[in-house]
Amino acid sequence: MDIEHLIDRLEELFNDSPALPFTNNVIVNEDRMLDLIDQMRVHIPEEVKQARQVLTQKDRILAQAQEKANRIIAAAREEAARLVDKEAIVAAARKQADSIRAQAEQEAQATREDADAYVLETLNYLEGELKRFIKQVQDGKFYLQQQKEAPSEPPRE
């Protein structure tokens, strides 16, 4: 069940509730209303949980990228240390280590950018969904306010 369905059910509860004579008030079944509110509370945090999961995934991906870069750099340093015996070999090893380091940093940067893009896309989607939910709630409130402010019909004799 999604939040939109729950909002529709809440609106239906108000629409089906009997009106108090000579007022704009209605009698609402408290148990049904509280049940709907509880269900809404359960469903809205799911969207928030998804956003938190996305942020956790981003941190995990960045940590993995940093760990991979560190391993590559460590491997490059080990390789360079092993080749220290001769000057020409040392120069080649440093060049190779620099190349590996640069490649590792590029890969880490690309992974960070991909992770950031994924997180941004997901957060934009969640923001749109939350805005849509807020708009529906505001529309429901506006509708109820209009109903409340509408002049009531005089009693029939």
Residue 152 tokens, joined? 């009531």
Residue 2 tokens, joined? 């999604």
Asked whether the CA dihedral 82, 87, 88, 92 is positive or negative, the reply is positive
pLDDT tens per residue, range 93-140? 888 899 999 999 998 999 999 888 888 888 999 899 899 999 999 999
Segments making up each domain of the chain, as ranges? 3-149
Q: Coil, strand, or helix at residue 66?
A: helix
Phi and psi at 19, nearest 5°, equal: -85, 150
Judge contact between 80 and 94, C-beta under 8 A: yes
pLDDT tens per residue, range 26-67? 999 999 999 998 888 888 777 667 878 888 999 899 999 999
Judge contact between 100 and 72, C-beta under 8 A: yes
How would residue 2 be classed by pLDDT, with cut points 50, 70 and 90? confident
Provide the whole-model pTM.
0.37
pLDDT for the residue numbered 156: 64
